[in-house]
Structure 1
Amino acid sequence: MTRHDTPPSLRRRLLTILIVPMVLAWLGSGAMIYALALYYANMNYDRSLVEGALMIERMARSEAGHEELSPQARILIEYDSDSPTYYAVRSLHHGMLASNLDLPLPAPLPPPGASPQLESIVLHGRKMRMASLAVTQDDPADTVVISMAESLDQRHELAREILIGTSPVVLLLIIVVLVLVWFGVSRGLRLLDPLTQQIAQRRARDLSALDQSQVPVEIRPLTRTIDALFARLRELLELQERFIADAAHQLRTPLAGLRLQAERALADPRPESVRDALAHVERLSAGAGRAAGQLLALARAQTVDEQDDATSAVDLARLARAYAGERVPDALAARIDLGYEGPSEGLVVNGDTVMLREALVNLVDNALNYAGRNGTVTVSLHRDERTVELAVEDSGPGVPEEFWPRLGERFFRPPGSRREGSGLGLAIVRRIAERHRATVTYDRGRDGRGLRVVLRLPALVAENQERGNRDSGPRS
């Protein structure tokens, strides 16, 4: 298995995510430790400088009259050879009295009797810290400035030693935290075991919702998505079973008829008998083919996911007018007056062209089937402010009003209907209307005769909207 084929690991990903901030925290803690160590080192070394300056001031007073400090005092001051301490005792009138380094005068000069003054200086390219104080001697007009200084190297060295001593400890703590996180995540993932067992123990056709009581709160969005998937699969299985039952229901009669006519032709081989049987076979096979096509259309309309609809702008006027023209020869053969009322184009809706055409096919087929000889079928289109209204009406016997609510049911045919049909046409129309957020209503035709089926779809604003609002044209 290559690196790209390695399955993702939640533990590894969490550890990877935590390593970067932990390393940054370690570096940040090192910087903070160094800064705090340097701060406290400066504070303590500054205190030592102040005490050293006060000590020189006391020595100078005890040896008043001498121009320089005694050798014993120098030894006490210069005791550290690695980080020597520098001093200077300077009279403002008489000049330098004692020093081991020509330290500059503090700026500004501290007032006599005030606490020692601390400042940072640079001498001979070295950064130093100096404490200074001013005292008065026997001469009231003279002021003696005592300064004591040392390099900053020892302070930084102390801060580095503290940093080096504490960094491994902090790093060890971070490693311990990462290990605890690793084991904590591993233990926490065991909370998914009941969910895994719940899914593993299910039967193949058990698509009920998962038990959310055993699911952690953080995982519930995932389980809700799984429940939604189960619901869609359950719906698809129900549709599949319904399709099989519908197919068996619709094809049983024509298949039985085909077998009967075949037996009839075999039993009576006379040409006229065989010819009559073949005519029945042709009619039955055409009906079976039509029923199979309607079953497939209904299944397609029921199973199309709303998120997968290939919708686009459809000119319903152009579609209806073209299809009405295609069916004119069939209408003339049945002695039916088929006409179209409405604009030639410009009534635009948002939908699936194939499905809308299928709805129109079933509406026109249903009307032609029930209009009867010398009847009329009219396909009309009209638009109001927000909807496009597609209506197909016929001059047939119509359907009693009490049966209108059931016209969209599968296999429902009004009592007393003598025409052949599967009872699926209006069911397909209703399902397609639901997919397009449209409505299907029923009414009587002109002069109270026949049936008028109206499909109302949301209108789509288009550039040719004005043409779509024109008055209906003459019948074609």
Structure 2
Amino acid sequence: MTRAPRPTSLRRRLLTILVVPMALAWLGSGVLIYVLALHYANISYDRSLADGARALERLIRSDSGHDELSPQVRILMEYESAEPTWYAVRSLRHGVLASNFDLPVPAPVPAIGAPPRLDSIVADGRPLRIASLALAGEDGSDAIIVSVAETLGERHALAREILVGTLPIVLLLIALVLVLVWFGVTRGLRLLDPLVEQLAQRRARDLSPLDQREVPLEIRPLTQTIDALLARLRELLELQERFIADAAHQLRTPLAGLRLQAERALGDPRPDSVRDALVHVERLSAGAGRAAGQLLALARAQTGENRIEWSTVDLARLAREHVAERVPDALAARIDLGYEGPLHGADVAGDAVMLREALVNLVDNALTYAGENGSVTVSLECELRTIVLAVEDSGPGVAEEWWPRLGERFFRPPESRREGSGLGLAIVRRIADSHGAAVMFGRGRDGRGLRATLRFAAVAK
């Protein structure tokens, strides 16, 4: 059995995210502390080394007239410590006067009377720090170079002691910061409690927007997304309820008629009566099927704006093909059906299936109202930046006062004598709206019939 994945904890995730930077900060602070400690240790020891060179100079001056150091000076300079101090007193004319280590002559030679000069050297394979100064010899033409050197061990040892003493304190501070972050996040997450309570107390059908007054600013993008989702759900529920109401409204009459004709056939079993009832059943069932199809098409058109598969559609080709398909129906109804316009090149942006559905309903409506020996014309005009698709018939038309209401669900002009559901033009209007097209109604040619026009934006070529 597959185990469910462990839920993600925001507190644990934040702590995990912070642990790595904090650990790197701790290591980085250790490096920085060591570098700073070594820097100041070097300053302190360099100062001590320069003072040692000056002290040796003063001791030599107190023994002036001697070619070598007195025993007291040697004892003082050669005193052994954890890290020994090496010295060398050298005459440029007479050579080494006294030393406990063969220190090199500094290059260049320090100026007589100048402050001690500090250098880093390597002697006998060991890195040393050396302080050198020069004083005048006895005859005035000679110079005595005084050099004092020491290893770097004590400096690094002092830096390590500072590091070892400081790192635990830094680590403790980082641990304290993480604990404070943990409790801070825990307390901060309590700001979401009103939002959780608000959602928990909602009823199942309450899809109104959330109260944003108690929502933190950082969470508002999430709640605004939830509000947008609730709005879409509310719209879908409204469409669903409208579809159910439309279906009940539209199918109630055909179903009642079917039941009435069935009872009629059962009550009067004569062949003529049964045949007449079956004719009515066939007509009613065809009407119910047509109404169901139009209801589904209207539902798709109402919810299709977010599901349009956008592509470039050639309206000229679409119109020509549909007119060719409907010619047999027109001939059977003794209606002259034709197409006027370009053969191709009328490109618009949209969904080919939905645009075809709009054209089907326009032609169906025109064929229904054109009447016997009438005419229906599908025309297409390519203007500068628009493409105009029009379907007109030679039927009785619609009074101008009702033109603004054409496209409403179930609306049929009072003077209409034909059977219909009142959904065809509603489907056309919804599809046009989803494609950004304008829908207009007017008189047909010679002031007869009805002309339905769709104006699309042309695709730039």
- The TM-score, its normalising length taken from structure 1, stands at 0.93
In structure 2, C-alpha distance between the alignment counterparts of 1:92 and 1:15, rounded to whole Å: 68
Q: Does 1:34 align with 2:34?
A: yes
Alignment partners' CA distance in 2, 1:4 and 1:201: 28
1:276-291 correspondence runs (5 A): 276-291=276-291
Equivalent position SS for 2:79: coil
Q: AA paired with 2:227?
A: D
1:347 maps to which residue?
Answer: 346
- Partner residue in 1 for 2:361: 362
Partner in structure 2 of residue 467 of structure 1: none
2:164 counterpart residue number: 164
SS at match of 1:393: strand
Residue of structure 2 in register with 1:123 after alignment:
123
The secondary structure found in structure 2 opposite 1:399 is: coil
The CA distance in 1 between the partners of 2:2 and 2:174, in whole Å, is 32
Aligned partner of 1:456 in structure 2 is 455
Counterpart amino acid of residue 219 in structure 2:
I
Aligned residue in 1 for 2:20: 20
Are the equivalent residues in 1 in contact too, given 2:408–2:425 (CA < 8 A)?
yes
Inter-partner Cα distance in structure 2 for 1:25 and 1:352: 57
Deviation of residue 461 (structure 1)? 4.1
Aligned residue number for residue 330 of structure 2: 331
- Answering whether residue 100 of structure 2 is matched by residue 100 of structure 1, we say yes
- The Cα offsets for residues 278-304 of structure 1, whole Å up to 9 and x where unpaired, read as 111111111111111111100111112
Matched, 1:434 2:433: yes
- Preserved contact between residue 78 and residue 100 of structure 2 (Cα < 8 Å): no
- Structure 2 residue 385 is matched with structure 1 residue 389: no
In structure 1, what is the equivalent of residue 444 of structure 2? 445
Please give the per-residue CA displacement for 1:141-178, whole angstroms capped at 9, x wherever unaligned: 22221111111122112212222222222122212211
Question: Using the alignment, how far apart are the partners of 1:176 and 1:426 within structure 2?
Answer: 71
Please give the per-residue CA displacement for 1:384-438, whole angstroms capped at 9, x wherever unaligned.
Answer: 1222211100001111111111001111111111110111100000000011111
- 1:246 matched to 2:246? The reply is yes
Moved more, 53-62 or 420-429: 53-62
CA distance in 2, matches of 1:13, 1:459: 52
The equivalent of 2:146 in structure 1 is 146
In the TM superposition, residue 3 of structure 1 has moved relative to its aligned partner by 8.6
- Sort the Cα spacing of 1:106 and 1:4 in 2 relative to 1 into closer, same or farther, 3 A: farther
1:355-378 deviation digits (Å, cap 9, x = unpaired): 111111110110011111111001
2:183 alignment partner, SS class: helix
Q: Which residue is 1:311 aligned to?
A: 310
Distance 1:305 1:416, change over 3 A: closer
How far apart are residue 8 of structure 1 and its match?
2.3
Q: Which moves more between the two structures, 42-51 or 173-182?
A: 173-182
Counterparts of 1:42-121 in structure 2 under 5 Å?
A: 42-121=42-121
Q: Deviations over 1:108-162 (max 9, x none)?
A: 2222222111111111111111111112244222222111111112211221222
SS at match of 2:213: helix
Extract structure 1 runs of 4+ deviating beyond 3 A: 1-4
Q: Could you say what secondary structure the match of 1:377 adopts?
A: strand
Q: In the alignment, what sits opposite 2:224?
A: 224
> Within the alignment, does 1:400 sit opposite 2:399 as a pair?
yes
Structure 1 counterpart of 2:155: 155
Letter in 2 for 1:158: L
Distance 2:18 2:229 in 1: 34
Other-structure match for 1:473? none
| Partner Cα distance (1:424, 1:277) in 2 | 27
What is the CA distance between 1:450 and its match in structure 2? 0.4
Q: For 2:70 and 2:44, locate their aligned partners in 1 and report how far apart those are by CA, in whole Å.
A: 27
Give yes or no for the alignment of 1:234 onto 2:228.
no
Q: TM-score when scaled to structure 2? A: 0.96
Q: Structure 1 vs Structure 2: percent identity of aligned residues?
A: 74
Q: Distance in 2 between matches of 1:158 and 1:433?
A: 84
Partner deviation per Cα, 1:16-66 (whole Å, 9 max, x = no partner): 221222122112111111111111111111111111111111111222233
Contact 2:65 2:138 in 1 (8 A): no
Deviation larger for 382-391 or 295-304: 382-391
Alignment match, 1:198: 198
Bigger drift between 93-102 and 194-203 goes to 93-102
Matched AA of 2:124 = H
Q: Aligned partners of 1:218, 1:105: CA distance in 2, in Å? A: 70
The answer to whether the 8 Å contact 2:265/2:274 transfers is yes
Residues 328-374 of structure 1 deviation map (CA, whole Å, 9 limit, x = unaligned): 12111211111111223332222212111111111011001111111
What residue is the counterpart of 1:174 in the other structure? Answer: 174
Segments of structure 2 that go 5 or more residues without pairing to the other structure are: none
Aligned equivalent of 1:380: 379
**How far is 1:74 from its partner?**
2.1
Aligned-residue Cα RMSD (Å) equals 1.6
Note the alpha carbon deviations across 1:241-276, whole angstroms, 9 max, x for none: 111111111111111222222222222222212211
Secondary structure, counterpart of 1:45 in structure 2: helix
Distance in structure 2 (CA, Å) of the matches to 1:449 and 1:111: 120
Preserved CA contact (<8 Å) 2:301 2:430? yes
Residues 1:272 and 1:325: Cα distance change in structure 2 (over 3 Å): same
